[in-house]
Structure 1
């Protein structure tokens, strides 16, 4: 009898997974990425530990998306009208997906980076001592700091408004990264123009004040200079 109940439980679980795949666009994105990564891994001789990390990362992303879908459905059933707490709950469940996806990207970087180099991609990754890890850490750190500052001062959203301009911070960081990697005045000047246009667009749209744009530029430049000046080989 318990065998039949176990089989029935698996059927319900599979039905839930199928429903999520049919109704959630993000689930399609996650599955497409999972198929690509697993197919890409066939090109390499992954160890058991590396393959386990890849599979765990994929599973965590899908698991988080399933939980997020379930939370949204439950909230929609319980709350017909707009509720601030319901919105917070949905945002938190969505944040779980973002964290899982970030973890998957980091694991993919650890597992595939050196192996991709060995697969005749040296020309792509050969940027002055291959400082891709510094670029990744630098941009991710700036993003976290922007989110943290906006959370502390309870202003804006991660992508719009707030005490500091995240767009200006990242744009300024990219300008300095290109300078550190190439030391080309032309490349530096062109990216500086693009960064200026980015800041100008935020100002004209009324998303940020001049003070917030300047603070973002200061944050991006400070973090980038510290990381690349002290840690670059």
Structure 2
């Protein structure tokens, strides 16, 4: 094979691989979630002082989730190309591929939790104390801005009803507000993690039920956290009403 053809073949191979990555990002909702979470974790790692081994573990875990999701997509598309009818073997193949993604994701959660546990424990006290001691009106202004944004988006898009659907998710807001209050009152990393995990499950159930989109639940979660922080700020002046 001539060198020119070899280079052309390598270029086409790289282009095809990049197109595959872009396809999963554009058309696969779960891949968008994986990339957003990966970006958040990698940014957090910059402030965590990880050594080389810890960074390798973190990057490997993130890569494993993304690779598993890409293989899962490839298997699903191949099966859909072969048949558009229900077949028990097709279901098994898709379920097994999805199970691989789940195991990779759980592995990433465990690795991330172990790596960040000490960092979160050391930072949490100073962070929560800083929020508690900050000016009350700062938190209230943040909440007002979120509420204004929600009202504007609902007015522009006419999404959902006051009790169902639309921007933001009320269930997600309530769940994350509870998780934030538990975090401040208990001040225990394990309890806080479990509380936020339950809140995430509530948000995920709204997405899976097709009642809210991913971004509607994110908006609800942010709103709930801000409201909870505001309640705790007010609790400094009226502690018996909070405790």
TM-score (norm 2): 0.51
3-state SS, counterpart of residue 119 of structure 1? helix
3-state SS, counterpart of residue 27 of structure 1? helix
Instruction: Tell me the C-alpha RMSD between the 2 structures.
Output: 2.8
Residues 65 and 104 of structure 2 are in contact (CA less than 8 Å); yes or no, is this contact kept in structure 1? yes
Structure 2 partner of 1:74: 78
Structure 1 partner of 2:197: none
1:37 correspondence with 2:41: yes
3-state SS, counterpart of residue 97 of structure 1? helix
Structure 2 partner of 1:13: 17
Residues 72 and 98 of structure 2 are in contact (CA less than 8 Å); yes or no, is this contact kept in structure 1? yes
Q: Distance in 1 between matches of 2:81 and 2:95?
A: 17
Structure 1 128/22 Cα, relative in aligned 2: closer, same or farther at 3 Å? Answer: closer
Structure 1 partner of 2:7: 3
> Any runs of at least 4 consecutive aligned residues in structure 1 with deviations exceeding 2 A, and if so which?
1-4, 120-132
Instruction: State the 1:131 CA deviation.
Output: 5.8
Which of these residues, 61, 67, 70, is aligned with residue 63 of structure 1? 67
The unaligned stretches of length 5 or more in structure 1 are 136-233
Instruction: State the 1:125 CA deviation.
Output: 9.3
Structure 1 57/121 Cα, relative in aligned 2: closer, same or farther at 3 Å? Answer: farther
Instruction: State the 1:121 CA deviation.
Output: 3.5
Structure 1 130/37 Cα, relative in aligned 2: closer, same or farther at 3 Å? Answer: closer
